[in-house]
Amino acid sequence: MDRTAFVFDTIQQIKLATRPDELMAVLAKAGAQFGFGKACAIASIPDNAEDFERYCYIDCWPAGWYERYLERNHFDSDPVIKKLRISRQPFAWHEAATNPDRQAALVMNEATEFDLLAGFNVPVHSIKGQLATVTFAGDRFDLPWEDRPTLMLIAIYAHDRIRELMGVRPLHPSQQRPLTPREIEVLKWTAEGKTSQDIADILSVSLPTVQSHMTNLCRKLDVVTRAQATARAVRWGILT
């Protein structure tokens, strides 16, 4: 195989993919080419386990593994997740779990029960500091050192494409008009679950004032509902 041609071709297919499943199939094929034939996944890594699934695309995890992972709260003890938070470089699973504590060892052992014996993770840090990762898993690790940057490139393009397919990209012109401090305050209380009347009471302003802030901030964020406004504000780094 001509490695350069394979990578160029794979990235071209990633750019042309029009649906997430199509993209994941291209990614899985590329992973298999580098020895990771079991599974691949693209996932955002939020700060806490509550919204672990903010976005998550998976191709063929062994049946039951993902459910087990969520059910046992592995997110909090997974050594791979811990290493992702501090690493700029891609790494192998055995490099993340070099000296695992009991909880970490448990996660890695359970993974082996599902035939997930080896893996490779590419961290993707957005400019605003949000973290995501592309995972490749297989039954053994034999990715040569010089192929790591290559697989990293494929992962970067795949992550960018899935975000675009899902519409996660910031919409530029609307963001040119930043939210006012008051609008951000209203948004914060909304995220806390307060009604417009609650917020009016808290801020000592009238209900129509709060409603007008809400209308304006929704327009700026290009959304219709409060839930969407909160979600988009988090995604754009306005709310943390």
> Could you list the residues that contact other proteins (CB under 8 A)?
3-4, 7-8, 11, 88, 124-129, 146, 149-150, 152-153, 156-157, 159-160, 169-170, 172-173, 175-176, 178
CB of 115 to other proteins, least distance (A): 30
Angle at which helices 20-33 and 148-165 pack, to 10 degrees? 170
Angle between helices 207-221 and 226-235 (to 10 degrees): 50
Name the residue nearer to other proteins (CB basis): 21 or 146. 146
CA distance 146 to 143: 8
State the minimum distance, in angstroms, from the CB of residue 219 to other proteins. Answer: 16
Nearest-approach distance from CB 3 to other proteins, in angstroms:
7
In terms of CB distance, is 114 or 157 closer to other proteins?
157
Q: Name which of 45 and 199 has its Cβ closer to other proteins.
A: 45
**Shortest spacing between CB 86 and other proteins, in angstroms:** 11
For residue 137, give the nearest of 164, 162, 108 by alpha carbon.
Answer: 108
Q: Which is nearer to other proteins, 89 or 228 (CB)?
A: 89
Nearer to other proteins, 125 or 194 (CB): 125
C-beta neighbour count of 178 within 10 angstroms: 10
* Structure token pair of residue 234: 């988090």
Q: How far is the CB of 197 from other proteins (least distance, A)?
A: 33
Helices (H), the chain: 3-16, 20-33, 65-71, 79-86, 93-96, 102-113, 148-165, 172-175, 181-191, 196-203, 207-221, 226-235
How many alpha carbons lie under 13 Å from residue 54 in its C-beta half-sphere?
20
